[in-house]
Homo-oligomer: A and B are copies of this chain.
Amino acid sequence: MQNPPSDRVQLSFDELRNLIAGIFECHGTSARTAAILAENCAAAQRDGSESHGIFRIPGYLSSLGSGWVNGQAEPVVEDVGAAFVRVDAAGGFAQPALEAGRALALEKVRANGMAVLAIRNSHHFAALWPDVEPFAREGLVALAFVNSMTCVVPHGGHRPLFGTNPIAFAAPRSGGDPLVFDLATSAIAHGDVQIAAREGHALPEGFGVDAQGRPTTDPRAVLDGGALLSFGGYKGSALSMMVELLAAAITGGNFSFEFDWSGHPGAQTPWTGELLILIDPDRGASRPFAERCEHLITRMVEAGQERQPGDRRYRQRARAEREGIPLKAADLERLRALAGR
Protein backbone atom coordinates (compact mmCIF):
# COMPACT_ATOMS: atom_id res chain seq x y z
CA MET A 1 0.00 0.00 0.00
CA GLN A 2 1.92 3.06 -1.27
CA ASN A 3 2.17 6.85 -1.09
CA PRO A 4 -0.49 7.82 1.45
CA PRO A 5 -0.35 11.46 2.58
CA SER A 6 1.79 11.59 5.72
CA ASP A 7 -1.21 11.96 8.09
CA ARG A 8 -3.06 9.08 6.39
CA VAL A 9 -2.23 5.42 6.37
CA GLN A 10 -3.65 2.52 4.40
CA LEU A 11 -4.29 -0.88 5.95
CA SER A 12 -5.36 -4.09 4.30
CA PHE A 13 -8.63 -5.57 5.50
CA ASP A 14 -6.77 -8.38 7.28
CA GLU A 15 -4.46 -5.93 9.03
CA LEU A 16 -7.35 -3.81 10.28
CA ARG A 17 -9.45 -6.82 11.29
CA ASN A 18 -6.57 -8.42 13.21
CA LEU A 19 -5.79 -5.15 14.95
CA ILE A 20 -9.42 -4.69 16.02
CA ALA A 21 -9.68 -8.33 17.14
CA GLY A 22 -6.62 -7.73 19.32
CA ILE A 23 -8.36 -4.71 20.90
CA PHE A 24 -11.48 -6.70 21.75
CA GLU A 25 -9.47 -9.58 23.18
CA CYS A 26 -7.47 -7.11 25.28
CA HIS A 27 -10.75 -5.80 26.69
CA GLY A 28 -12.33 -8.99 27.85
CA THR A 29 -13.98 -10.77 24.94
CA SER A 30 -13.42 -14.37 23.95
CA ALA A 31 -11.26 -14.96 20.88
CA ARG A 32 -14.35 -16.07 18.95
CA THR A 33 -16.36 -12.94 19.82
CA ALA A 34 -13.32 -10.74 19.11
CA ALA A 35 -12.94 -12.28 15.64
CA ILE A 36 -16.63 -11.86 14.78
CA LEU A 37 -16.91 -8.25 16.03
CA ALA A 38 -13.63 -7.32 14.35
CA GLU A 39 -14.75 -8.72 11.00
CA ASN A 40 -17.98 -6.69 11.32
CA CYS A 41 -16.30 -3.45 12.43
CA ALA A 42 -13.48 -3.64 9.86
CA ALA A 43 -16.03 -4.36 7.10
CA ALA A 44 -18.02 -1.24 8.04
CA GLN A 45 -14.85 0.87 8.00
CA ARG A 46 -13.76 -0.66 4.66
CA ASP A 47 -17.18 0.01 3.10
CA GLY A 48 -17.31 3.63 4.24
CA SER A 49 -20.01 3.05 6.89
CA GLU A 50 -18.05 5.37 9.13
CA SER A 51 -20.64 5.62 11.88
CA HIS A 52 -20.29 1.87 12.44
CA GLY A 53 -16.56 1.43 11.84
CA ILE A 54 -13.69 2.17 14.22
CA PHE A 55 -15.74 5.12 15.49
CA ARG A 56 -17.73 2.56 17.50
CA ILE A 57 -14.78 0.96 19.27
CA PRO A 58 -14.73 3.29 22.31
CA GLY A 59 -18.42 2.54 22.86
CA TYR A 60 -17.82 -1.20 22.68
CA LEU A 61 -14.94 -0.97 25.15
CA SER A 62 -16.86 1.28 27.50
CA SER A 63 -19.75 -1.20 27.61
CA LEU A 64 -17.40 -4.14 28.11
CA GLY A 65 -15.54 -2.29 30.86
CA SER A 66 -18.77 -1.47 32.67
CA GLY A 67 -19.72 -5.14 32.95
CA TRP A 68 -22.96 -4.41 31.08
CA VAL A 69 -22.26 -6.76 28.16
CA ASN A 70 -20.66 -10.18 28.48
CA GLY A 71 -17.77 -10.51 26.05
CA GLN A 72 -17.34 -14.16 27.03
CA ALA A 73 -20.98 -15.16 26.52
CA GLU A 74 -21.63 -18.50 24.84
CA PRO A 75 -24.82 -18.31 22.74
CA VAL A 76 -27.32 -21.15 23.17
CA VAL A 77 -29.08 -22.32 19.99
CA GLU A 78 -32.48 -24.02 20.21
CA ASP A 79 -34.29 -25.82 17.39
CA VAL A 80 -37.94 -24.98 18.08
CA GLY A 81 -39.58 -25.88 14.75
CA ALA A 82 -38.97 -26.88 11.17
CA ALA A 83 -38.82 -23.17 10.30
CA PHE A 84 -37.81 -21.57 13.61
CA VAL A 85 -34.44 -21.23 15.33
CA ARG A 86 -34.07 -19.30 18.56
CA VAL A 87 -30.81 -18.20 20.08
CA ASP A 88 -30.16 -16.93 23.59
CA ALA A 89 -27.21 -14.57 23.22
CA ALA A 90 -26.69 -14.96 26.99
CA GLY A 91 -26.09 -11.25 27.51
CA GLY A 92 -23.39 -11.11 24.86
CA PHE A 93 -23.34 -9.53 21.41
CA ALA A 94 -25.90 -10.32 18.71
CA GLN A 95 -23.31 -11.13 16.02
CA PRO A 96 -21.84 -14.24 17.70
CA ALA A 97 -25.41 -15.38 18.41
CA LEU A 98 -26.29 -14.99 14.73
CA GLU A 99 -23.12 -16.86 13.79
CA ALA A 100 -24.06 -19.65 16.22
CA GLY A 101 -27.54 -20.05 14.72
CA ARG A 102 -26.55 -19.58 11.08
CA ALA A 103 -25.90 -23.21 10.07
CA LEU A 104 -29.17 -24.50 11.50
CA ALA A 105 -31.14 -21.61 9.97
CA LEU A 106 -29.56 -22.24 6.55
CA GLU A 107 -30.36 -25.94 6.82
CA LYS A 108 -33.99 -25.13 7.61
CA VAL A 109 -34.51 -22.56 4.86
CA ARG A 110 -32.95 -24.90 2.28
CA ALA A 111 -35.07 -27.83 3.46
CA ASN A 112 -38.36 -26.04 4.09
CA GLY A 113 -38.41 -22.86 2.01
CA MET A 114 -38.08 -20.32 4.80
CA ALA A 115 -36.90 -19.87 8.36
CA VAL A 116 -36.85 -17.37 11.16
CA LEU A 117 -33.85 -16.80 13.41
CA ALA A 118 -34.91 -15.17 16.68
CA ILE A 119 -32.11 -13.79 18.85
CA ARG A 120 -32.77 -12.51 22.36
CA ASN A 121 -30.79 -11.27 25.32
CA SER A 122 -28.36 -9.67 22.86
CA HIS A 123 -26.44 -6.43 22.40
CA HIS A 124 -26.38 -4.98 18.86
CA PHE A 125 -24.07 -2.01 18.41
CA ALA A 126 -23.17 -2.44 14.72
CA ALA A 127 -24.58 -1.76 11.26
CA LEU A 128 -27.33 -4.18 10.27
CA TRP A 129 -26.38 -4.83 6.63
CA PRO A 130 -23.53 -7.19 7.56
CA ASP A 131 -26.17 -9.46 9.12
CA VAL A 132 -28.11 -9.89 5.84
CA GLU A 133 -25.60 -9.56 2.98
CA PRO A 134 -24.04 -13.03 3.52
CA PHE A 135 -27.45 -14.71 3.19
CA ALA A 136 -28.00 -13.06 -0.20
CA ARG A 137 -24.61 -14.44 -1.27
CA GLU A 138 -26.09 -17.87 -0.47
CA GLY A 139 -28.94 -17.13 -2.89
CA LEU A 140 -31.48 -16.26 -0.18
CA VAL A 141 -33.62 -13.21 0.52
CA ALA A 142 -33.04 -11.96 4.06
CA LEU A 143 -34.80 -9.42 6.25
CA ALA A 144 -33.43 -8.30 9.62
CA PHE A 145 -35.01 -6.20 12.35
CA VAL A 146 -33.27 -4.97 15.49
CA ASN A 147 -34.55 -2.65 18.19
CA SER A 148 -32.16 -0.51 20.16
CA MET A 149 -32.64 2.09 22.90
CA THR A 150 -35.25 4.74 23.57
CA CYS A 151 -34.50 7.78 21.44
CA VAL A 152 -37.40 8.15 18.96
CA VAL A 153 -40.72 9.86 19.72
CA PRO A 154 -43.74 7.85 18.46
CA HIS A 155 -45.73 9.86 15.90
CA GLY A 156 -48.02 12.29 17.72
CA GLY A 157 -46.33 11.64 21.05
CA HIS A 158 -44.24 13.90 23.26
CA ARG A 159 -41.69 11.53 24.78
CA PRO A 160 -39.18 9.15 23.16
CA LEU A 161 -39.96 5.43 23.36
CA PHE A 162 -38.73 3.52 20.30
CA GLY A 163 -35.13 2.89 19.27
CA THR A 164 -33.70 3.84 15.89
CA ASN A 165 -34.96 0.35 14.96
CA PRO A 166 -33.38 -0.40 11.59
CA ILE A 167 -34.69 -2.73 8.92
CA ALA A 168 -32.21 -4.43 6.60
CA PHE A 169 -32.96 -6.32 3.39
CA ALA A 170 -30.73 -8.31 1.07
CA ALA A 171 -31.48 -10.07 -2.21
CA PRO A 172 -29.25 -11.84 -4.74
CA ARG A 173 -28.95 -10.45 -8.27
CA SER A 174 -27.53 -12.22 -11.29
CA GLY A 175 -25.47 -9.31 -12.56
CA GLY A 176 -23.60 -8.12 -9.52
CA ASP A 177 -23.24 -7.96 -5.78
CA PRO A 178 -26.44 -8.44 -3.75
CA LEU A 179 -28.97 -5.64 -3.49
CA VAL A 180 -28.75 -4.59 0.17
CA PHE A 181 -30.31 -1.80 2.18
CA ASP A 182 -30.10 -0.99 5.87
CA LEU A 183 -32.31 1.85 6.97
CA ALA A 184 -33.04 3.29 10.38
CA THR A 185 -36.74 3.92 10.93
CA SER A 186 -35.66 7.11 12.69
CA ALA A 187 -35.20 10.16 10.45
CA ILE A 188 -31.44 9.79 11.05
CA ALA A 189 -29.22 7.07 12.55
CA HIS A 190 -27.93 7.68 16.05
CA GLY A 191 -24.35 7.21 14.87
CA ASP A 192 -24.83 10.00 12.33
CA VAL A 193 -26.07 12.34 15.07
CA GLN A 194 -22.92 11.51 17.04
CA ILE A 195 -20.75 12.23 13.99
CA ALA A 196 -22.58 15.52 13.32
CA ALA A 197 -22.03 16.54 16.95
CA ARG A 198 -18.36 15.63 16.78
CA GLU A 199 -17.85 17.50 13.50
CA GLY A 200 -20.07 20.48 14.39
CA HIS A 201 -22.62 20.01 11.58
CA ALA A 202 -26.29 20.98 11.94
CA LEU A 203 -29.00 18.37 11.34
CA PRO A 204 -31.72 18.89 8.71
CA GLU A 205 -35.07 20.24 9.95
CA GLY A 206 -37.55 17.67 11.22
CA PHE A 207 -34.97 15.13 12.36
CA GLY A 208 -34.88 15.78 16.10
CA VAL A 209 -36.17 17.51 19.22
CA ASP A 210 -34.35 18.86 22.28
CA ALA A 211 -34.84 17.83 25.92
CA GLN A 212 -37.98 20.01 26.10
CA GLY A 213 -39.44 18.33 23.02
CA ARG A 214 -38.84 21.39 20.83
CA PRO A 215 -37.64 20.94 17.22
CA THR A 216 -33.90 21.45 16.90
CA THR A 217 -31.15 21.14 14.28
CA ASP A 218 -28.38 21.00 16.91
CA PRO A 219 -27.04 17.43 17.17
CA ARG A 220 -25.73 18.14 20.69
CA ALA A 221 -29.22 19.16 21.83
CA VAL A 222 -30.54 15.86 20.45
CA LEU A 223 -27.84 13.86 22.26
CA ASP A 224 -28.22 15.89 25.46
CA GLY A 225 -31.64 14.71 26.59
CA GLY A 226 -33.41 15.31 23.29
CA ALA A 227 -34.80 12.73 20.90
CA LEU A 228 -35.16 11.77 17.25
CA LEU A 229 -38.27 11.69 15.09
CA SER A 230 -39.21 8.78 12.86
CA PHE A 231 -38.76 9.04 9.09
CA GLY A 232 -41.80 9.68 6.92
CA GLY A 233 -44.20 10.71 9.70
CA TYR A 234 -46.76 8.17 10.94
CA LYS A 235 -45.64 5.53 8.45
CA GLY A 236 -42.07 5.41 9.74
CA SER A 237 -43.44 5.41 13.28
CA ALA A 238 -45.66 2.39 12.49
CA LEU A 239 -42.66 0.56 11.05
CA SER A 240 -40.61 1.41 14.15
CA MET A 241 -43.39 -0.05 16.33
CA MET A 242 -43.36 -3.16 14.14
CA VAL A 243 -39.60 -3.51 14.68
CA GLU A 244 -40.14 -3.42 18.47
CA LEU A 245 -42.65 -6.27 18.16
CA LEU A 246 -40.58 -8.37 15.75
CA ALA A 247 -37.16 -7.88 17.33
CA ALA A 248 -38.17 -7.86 21.00
CA ALA A 249 -41.61 -9.42 21.56
CA ILE A 250 -41.28 -12.38 19.15
CA THR A 251 -37.72 -13.14 20.21
CA GLY A 252 -38.25 -12.77 23.96
CA GLY A 253 -35.89 -9.80 24.13
CA ASN A 254 -36.29 -6.38 25.74
CA PHE A 255 -38.17 -3.49 24.20
CA SER A 256 -35.96 -0.44 23.62
CA PHE A 257 -37.30 1.15 26.82
CA GLU A 258 -37.08 -1.87 29.10
CA PHE A 259 -33.46 -2.30 30.04
CA ASP A 260 -31.94 -0.38 32.92
CA TRP A 261 -28.22 0.18 32.60
CA SER A 262 -28.01 2.77 35.36
CA GLY A 263 -26.04 0.34 37.51
CA HIS A 264 -23.36 0.12 34.80
CA PRO A 265 -21.87 3.57 34.21
CA GLY A 266 -20.28 3.61 30.75
CA ALA A 267 -22.75 1.11 29.29
CA GLN A 268 -23.58 2.03 25.67
CA THR A 269 -24.78 -1.14 23.95
CA PRO A 270 -28.56 -1.69 23.81
CA TRP A 271 -29.69 -5.01 25.32
CA THR A 272 -32.62 -6.07 23.15
CA GLY A 273 -33.24 -8.70 20.42
CA GLU A 274 -32.98 -9.31 16.69
CA LEU A 275 -35.20 -11.16 14.24
CA LEU A 276 -34.08 -12.47 10.86
CA ILE A 277 -36.47 -13.81 8.22
CA LEU A 278 -34.85 -15.96 5.53
CA ILE A 279 -36.65 -16.99 2.35
CA ASP A 280 -35.60 -19.31 -0.46
CA PRO A 281 -36.78 -17.06 -3.30
CA ASP A 282 -36.77 -19.78 -5.94
CA ARG A 283 -39.20 -21.98 -4.05
CA GLY A 284 -42.24 -20.00 -5.11
CA ALA A 285 -41.22 -18.68 -8.50
CA SER A 286 -41.11 -20.04 -12.00
CA ARG A 287 -38.19 -17.83 -13.09
CA PRO A 288 -34.80 -17.57 -11.29
CA PHE A 289 -35.10 -14.88 -8.61
CA ALA A 290 -31.62 -13.39 -9.14
CA GLU A 291 -32.43 -12.74 -12.80
CA ARG A 292 -35.76 -11.17 -11.89
CA CYS A 293 -33.96 -8.91 -9.39
CA GLU A 294 -31.46 -7.91 -12.08
CA HIS A 295 -34.32 -7.07 -14.44
CA LEU A 296 -35.91 -4.82 -11.82
CA ILE A 297 -32.63 -3.00 -11.31
CA THR A 298 -32.19 -2.51 -15.06
CA ARG A 299 -35.60 -0.88 -15.17
CA MET A 300 -34.82 1.27 -12.09
CA VAL A 301 -31.72 2.58 -13.85
CA GLU A 302 -33.79 3.30 -17.00
CA ALA A 303 -36.29 5.20 -14.82
CA GLY A 304 -33.44 7.41 -13.65
CA GLN A 305 -32.43 5.88 -10.31
CA GLU A 306 -28.78 5.45 -11.17
CA ARG A 307 -27.49 4.57 -7.70
CA GLN A 308 -28.92 1.44 -6.12
CA PRO A 309 -28.98 0.66 -2.39
CA GLY A 310 -25.58 -0.71 -1.40
CA ASP A 311 -23.72 0.68 -4.44
CA ARG A 312 -21.69 3.19 -2.44
CA ARG A 313 -20.54 0.48 -0.04
CA TYR A 314 -19.47 -1.80 -2.89
CA ARG A 315 -17.54 1.03 -4.58
CA GLN A 316 -15.75 1.85 -1.33
CA ARG A 317 -15.08 -1.86 -0.81
CA ALA A 318 -13.53 -2.26 -4.26
CA ARG A 319 -11.40 0.80 -3.71
CA ALA A 320 -10.27 -0.44 -0.29
CA GLU A 321 -9.35 -3.78 -1.87
CA ARG A 322 -7.16 -1.97 -4.40
CA GLU A 323 -5.67 0.77 -2.23
CA GLY A 324 -6.19 -0.38 1.35
CA ILE A 325 -8.51 1.04 3.96
CA PRO A 326 -7.62 4.68 4.65
CA LEU A 327 -7.20 5.69 8.29
CA LYS A 328 -5.90 8.82 9.96
CA ALA A 329 -2.43 8.10 11.33
CA ALA A 330 -3.59 9.35 14.74
CA ASP A 331 -6.52 6.90 14.68
CA LEU A 332 -4.17 4.02 13.88
CA GLU A 333 -1.96 5.04 16.78
CA ARG A 334 -4.97 5.05 19.10
CA LEU A 335 -6.07 1.62 17.87
CA ARG A 336 -2.56 0.22 18.41
CA ALA A 337 -2.46 1.63 21.91
CA LEU A 338 -5.85 0.05 22.67
CA ALA A 339 -4.49 -3.28 21.43
CA GLY A 340 -1.44 -2.90 23.66
CA ARG A 341 0.87 -2.85 20.63
In the complex, the answer to whether B280 meets A84 with C-beta atoms within 8 Å is yes
Interface members, chain A 143-185 (any B CB < 8 Å) = 153-161, 167, 169, 171, 179, 181, 183
Residues of B within 8 A of A115 (CB): 83, 114
Number of copies: 2
**A283 interface hit (Cβ, 8 Å):** yes
In the complex, the answer to whether B81 meets A283 with C-beta atoms within 8 Å is yes
Residues of B within 8 A of A281 (CB): 245, 249-250
Residue of B nearest to A308 (CB): B241
Residue in B84, B238, B302 whose CB lies within 8 Å of A113:
B84
Residue in B245, B284, B299 whose CB lies within 8 Å of A296:
B245
Residues of B within 8 A of A239 (CB): 167, 183
In the complex, the answer to whether A116 meets B113 with C-beta atoms within 8 Å is yes
In the complex, the answer to whether B232 meets A157 with C-beta atoms within 8 Å is no
Please, how many angstroms separate the alpha-carbon atoms of A84 and B118 in the complex? 19
Residue of B nearest to A286 (CB): B252
In the complex, the answer to whether A279 meets B307 with C-beta atoms within 8 Å is no
Interface members, chain A 249-308 (any B CB < 8 Å) = 249-252, 255, 257, 277, 279-281, 283-287, 289, 292-293, 295-296, 299-300, 302-307
> What sequence of 0s and 1s flags, for each residue 295-328 of chain A, a beta carbon within 8 Å of any chain B beta carbon?
1100110111111010000000000000000000
**A43 interface hit (Cβ, 8 Å):** no
**A235 interface hit (Cβ, 8 Å):** yes
Residue in B235, B241, B287, B307 whose CB lies within 8 Å of A252:
B287
- The 3 tightest CB contacts between A and B, nearest first, are A232-B232, A84-B113, A81-B113
| A residues adjacent to B (C-beta < 8 A) | 80-84, 86, 108, 111-116, 118, 120, 141, 153-161, 167, 169, 171, 179, 181, 183, 231-233, 235-239, 241-242, 244-246, 248-252, 255, 257, 277, 279-281, 283-287, 289, 292-293, 295-296, 299-300, 302-307, 309
27 examples of A-B residue contacts, CB within 8 angstroms: A80-B284, A81-B283, A83-B83, A83-B113, A83-B115, A84-B114, A84-B284, A86-B284, A114-B277, A153-B303, A153-B304, A154-B304, A155-B305, A156-B306, A157-B300, A160-B303, A183-B235, A232-B232, A232-B233, A241-B296, A241-B300, A249-B281, A249-B285, A249-B292, A251-B285, A252-B287, A255-B292
Could you list 20 further interchain pairs (A-B, Cβ under 8 angstroms) beyond the known A84-B284, A112-B112? A80-B284, A81-B111, A82-B112, A82-B113, A83-B108, A84-B112, A86-B284, A155-B305, A157-B303, A157-B304, A158-B304, A161-B299, A161-B300, A181-B242, A232-B233, A232-B235, A235-B236, A245-B293, A252-B285, A277-B277
